[in-house]
């Protein structure tokens, strides 16, 4: 190993070069940016932000299905709207609100239970 390579490695170690890819706050009082949550992949544009959003979408689909009357698409829409509304109500009742907590500008995780992980998997916020 040449002297130049050794000096380069020492400089990178002193600069903590392992953390260069991690987004940092620009100022020491500015909080660290929120990490990206689990994504739905290409369907992430339809991921609801909160259980209330899912409840609203489910109620809207249910009402549209009821307004269609005896059309072929009416019954599946009513079932889908009812299912989405039921999932939203159950998650409002049983899943904890998984909001990111900060301490001195750093993100901390308080709840790592399966219920909190399920909430973060379903909803954006």
Distance CA 51, CA 57 (A): 10
Q: Is the pLDDT of residue 46 over 90?
A: no
pLDDT tens readout for residues 7-25: 877 887 877 676 555 556 5
β-partners of residue 108 are 101
Determine the straight-line distance between the first and last CA of the chain, rounded to whole angstroms.
50
β-pair partners for 107: 102
Collapse the DSSP code of 35 into the 3-class scheme (helix H, G, I; strand E, B; otherwise coil) and give the result: coil
pLDDT digits (tens, 9 = 90+) for 73-91: 999 999 999 999 999 999 8
Distance CA 93, CA 59 (A): 17
| Coil, strand or helix at 106 | strand
Name the pTM for this structure. 0.60
> In terms of DSSP H, where are the helices of the chain?
3-14, 51-67, 74-94, 114-122
Cα distance between residue 17 and residue 11, in whole Å: 9
Residue 20, pLDDT score: 59
Candidates 70, 69, 46, 68; CA nearest to 58 is 46
């Amino acid at each position: 190993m040449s002297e130049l390579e050794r000096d380069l490695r020492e400089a990178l170690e002193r600069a903590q070069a392992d953390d260069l890819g991690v987004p940092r706050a620009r100022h020491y009082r500015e909080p660290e940016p929120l990490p990206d949550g689990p994504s739905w992949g290409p369907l992430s544009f339809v991921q609801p932000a909160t259980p209330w959003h899912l409840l609203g979408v489910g109620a809207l689909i249910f009402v549209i299905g009821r307004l269609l009357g005896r059309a072929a698409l009416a019954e599946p829409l009513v079932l889908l709207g009812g299912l989405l509304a039921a999932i939203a109500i159950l998650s409002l009742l049983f899943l904890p609100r998984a909001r990111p907590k900060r301490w001195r500008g750093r993100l901390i995780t308080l709840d790592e239970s399966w219920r909190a992980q399920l909430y973060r998997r379903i909803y954006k916020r």
